[in-house]
């Protein structure tokens, strides 16, 4: 029978099981609520009776206080014959009657209390009648009767009897209060016991119903989970099917069929996994080759999403003068774009991104050591989106050498043309200048110094020498001399130049401050040509400096490597060079502010420095001075 009921219960749908098992605790809860309500009503009636007893005691106290007021006002009037005592007397008289009637009504359900209080009322009425009669006599002029009443203490005797009767009345009421309090305590205890026992029974029924649900629903599910977990491969094909007609039985049958299908799919996946692994290996190898090619490409490669750089290869760090082996953020190389070019480059690229167009520009990288690299940058959109920013691939190509070669080629073409002109000048002008200068020198001896023609001959000789010097500078610029490199200390070269210019420096009260490290190695260069460069740079610094200032000379070595060498800087604190002239100071025949200048000094210096494989850079700020970096 038990097995039949269990199977019948298991075959029921889960919704009906939940409805059936919830009926028992719900019924118990309803019964418990009814019993609890009845007990609460009993406690409420006890509290109501206690409240009535409290009102009786309160009214009895008020009744006694009114009697005292009546006695007090009576004595006051008899002793003083003042009418203000009559009004409280009359009020107390009326209140005593009304409170007495109320008390009579309150104790009407208790016969002993009612009979006792009626005796008290008869005494109170006798007291009131005596006092009213005496007051009327006093008003008519017979005050002595009232005084005699007070002296004989007849009223006091009645008051004592009233007090004794009221004390007895209060004691009876106290006994009733104690009885009701005991009844209330008993009723409260009974109510709590009903709630406690009923709650325990209800919880027991709830626990029992939950146990039935657990055995009928949760138990099979736990066994099902254990069966799945016990499978070595987690296969669902070995799930047992339960012979039940509820949702759990249906679930086990569906899961068994699904397990068979999943096992079939898993077999297919395992068959294709080997092929996929081979494809992944080939893809990884291809990716490694591609990454190796990109990272070691001889030009910079990067990708962007909108303006944000998402990838950058190692060569971009090399272009920016950074260590290519040091892992940095892909956008780090942007920080080393030349400050004069950065805003333009970013603005051009932002405009191209906004229009989803290719972008090509040329800019410079400025390294920490001051080296400048010129770069051609091309960026092409490879993926478009309506809501997402376009993806670009970019290439940075180092065109520094190409730009230098182009500049040198242009200069070489100009020098070739200028060399032909210089040869013609040397042939057409130099020989007549020599003749003019020689004849002028001979004629000086034939005229006295006081002769006016002597001064004219000196002017001719001076201008002839100046023209000869200009011709020599043109030839030096157009036909550079062959280098004769030797090892010479830089400090000795600076000392020689300062010694040659000592008189000029002294005339303008200029000081030369040197900052040459004692560990500085010798300079491997053409001594005479480097000295010519320093002389020209110092001459320009002296001409631009204010009296009493200083000319600073600093030098340091670049680390060994592709750009190994030495950096020499000469800085003055003079008038400076305007921005519009700074870009042309190394061009031939460009001069400004020098009456005797030919405009070839810095051009010749640049030829000499570039002939040594170096470069010359000039920075200046008007009013603060100029710095020449070699």
Looking up tokens 């029924």 gives 205
* Average pLDDT score, the chain: 79
pLDDT at 91: 86
Please state the rounded mean pLDDT for residues 168-189.
Answer: 78
Burial category of 523 from C-beta neighbours within 10 Å (exposed 0-12, middle 13-18, buried 19 and up): buried
Indicate the pLDDT class of residue 30, thresholds 50, 70 and 90: confident
- In the chain, the domains with their CATH numbers are 2-218 (1.20.120.1730), 296-398 (3.30.450.20), 484-629 (3.30.565.10)
With beta carbons less than 8 A apart as the criterion, state whether 502 and 488 touch: no
Compare 65 and 473 and report the one with higher pLDDT.
Answer: 65
For CA atoms 313, 314, 320, 322, give the dihedral sign: positive
Q: What is the pLDDT of residues 113-136, one digit of tens each?
A: 777 778 888 888 888 888 888 888
Query: What's the pLDDT band for 549 if we cut at 50, 70, 90?
Result: very high
* DSSP string across 179-223: HHHHHHHHHHHHHHHHHHHHHHHHHHHHHHHHHHHIIIIIHHHHH
Task: Output the six-digit token pair for 7.
Answer: 């199977």
Alpha-carbon dihedral sign for residues 359, 360, 361, 367: positive
Q: pLDDT category, 31, cuts 50, 70, 90? A: confident
At residue 552, the pLDDT reads: 95
What are the tens digits of pLDDT across the range 590-625?
776 665 666 777 888 888 888 888 889 999 998 899
Across residues 412-433, what is the average pLDDT? 67
Alpha-carbon gap, residue 573 to 622, rounded angstroms: 10
What does pTM read for this prediction?
Answer: 0.39
Structure tokens at 39: 């007990």
**Angle ∠(225,228,232) on CA atoms, nearest 5:** 145
Rounded CA-CA distance 85/282 in Å is: 124
Q: What is the DSSP string of 231-242?
A: STT--STTPPPP
Q: Does the pLDDT value for residue 474 go beyond 60? A: yes
- Region of poorest pLDDT, from 133-137, 221-225, 564-568, 607-611: 221-225
Note the pLDDT tens digit of each residue in 254-287.
Answer: 777 777 777 777 778 888 887 888 888 877 777 7
Write the burial class of residue 487 (CB in 10 Å: 0-12 exposed, 13-18 middle, 19+ buried).
exposed
With residue 446 as reference, give the H or E element that holds it: none
d(CA 168, CA 55): 17
Burial environment of residue 559 by CB neighbours within 10 A (0 to 12, 13 to 18, 19 or more)? exposed
Mean pLDDT value of segment 80-91: 81
DSSP string, 50-76: HHHHHHHHHHHHHHHHHHHHHHHHHHH
Q: What is the pLDDT of residue 205?
A: 73
Alpha-carbon span 327 to 586, nearest angstrom: 40
């Amino acid at each position: 029978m038990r097995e039949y009921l269990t199977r019948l219960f298991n075959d029921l749908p889960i919704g009906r099981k939940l409805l059936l098992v919830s009926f028992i605790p719900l019924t118990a809860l309803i019964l418990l609520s009814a019993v609890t309500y009845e007990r609460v009503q009993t406690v409420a009636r006890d509290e109501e009776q206690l409240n009535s007893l409290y009102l009786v005691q309160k009214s009895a106290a008020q009744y006694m206080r009114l009697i005292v007021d009546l006695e007090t006002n009576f004595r006051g009037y008899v002793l003083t014959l003042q009418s203000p005592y009559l009004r409280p007397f009359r009020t107390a008289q009326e209140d005593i009657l009304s409170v007495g009637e109320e008390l009579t009504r309150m104790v009407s359900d208790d016969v002993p209390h009612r009979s006792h209080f009626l005796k008290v009322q008869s005494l109170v009425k006798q007291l009131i009648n005596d006092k009213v009669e005496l007051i009327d006599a006093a008003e008519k002029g017979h005050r002595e009767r009232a005084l005699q009443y007070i002296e004989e203490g007849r009223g006091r005797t009645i008051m004592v009897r009233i007090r004794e009767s009221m004390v007895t009345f209060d004691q009876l009421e106290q006994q009733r209060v104690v009885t009701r309090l005991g009844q209330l305590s008993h009723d409260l205890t009974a109510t709590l016991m009903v709630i406690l026992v009923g709650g325990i029974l209800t919880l027991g029924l709830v626990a029992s119903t939950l146990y039935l649900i657990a055995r009928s629903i949760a138990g099979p599910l736990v066994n099902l989970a254990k069966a799945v977990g016990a499978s070595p491969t987690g296969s669902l094909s070995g799930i047992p099917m339960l012979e039940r007609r509820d949702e759990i039985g249906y679930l086990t049958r569906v899961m068994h069929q699904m397990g068979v299908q999943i096992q079939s799919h898993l077999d297919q996946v395992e068959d294709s996994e080997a092929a996929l692994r081979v494809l992944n290996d080939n893809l990884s190898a291809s990716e490694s080759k591609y990454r190796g090619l990109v990272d070691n490409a001889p030009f910079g490669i990067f990708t962007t999403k909108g303006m944000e750089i998402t990838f950058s290869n190692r060569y971009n760090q090399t272009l920016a003068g950074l260590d290519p082996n040091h892992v940095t953020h892909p956008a780090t190389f942007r920080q080393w774009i030349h400050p004069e070019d950065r805003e333009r480059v970013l603005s051009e690229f932002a405009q191209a991104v906004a229009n989803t167009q290719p972008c090509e520009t040329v800019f410079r990288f400025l390294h920490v050591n001051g080296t400048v690299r010129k770069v051609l940058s091309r960026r092409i959109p490879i993926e478009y989106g309506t809501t997402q920013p376009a993806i670009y691939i970019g290439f940075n190509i180092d065109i520094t050498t190409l730009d230098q070669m182009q500049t040198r080629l242009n200069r070489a073409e100009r020098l070739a043309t200028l060399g032909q002109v210089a040869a013609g000048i040397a042939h057409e002008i130099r020989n007549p200048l020599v003749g003019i200068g020689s004849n002028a020198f001979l004629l000086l001896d034939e005229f006295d110094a006081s002769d006016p023609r002597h001064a004219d001959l000196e002017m001719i000789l001076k201008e002839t020498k100046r023209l000869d010097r200009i011709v020599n500078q043109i030839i030096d610029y157009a036909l550079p001399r062959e280098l004769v490199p030797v090892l010479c200390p830089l400090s000795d070269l600076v000392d020689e130049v300062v010694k040659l210019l000592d008189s000029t420096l002294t005339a303008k009260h200029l000081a030369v401050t040197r900052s040459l490290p004692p560990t500085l190695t010798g300079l491997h260069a053409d001594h005479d040509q480097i000295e010519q460069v320093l002389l020209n740079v110092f001459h320009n610094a002296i001409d631009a400096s204010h009296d009493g200032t200083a000319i600073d000379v600093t030098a340091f070595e670049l680390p060994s490597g592709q750009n190994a060498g030495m950096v020499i800087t000469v800085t003055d604190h003079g008038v400076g060079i305007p921005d519009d002239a700074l870009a042309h100071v190394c061009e031939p025949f460009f001069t400004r502010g020098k009456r005797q200048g030919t405009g070839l000094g810095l051009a010749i210096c640049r030829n000499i420095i570039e002939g040594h494989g170096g470069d010359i850079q000039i920075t200046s700020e008007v009013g603060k001075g100029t710095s020449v970096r070699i």
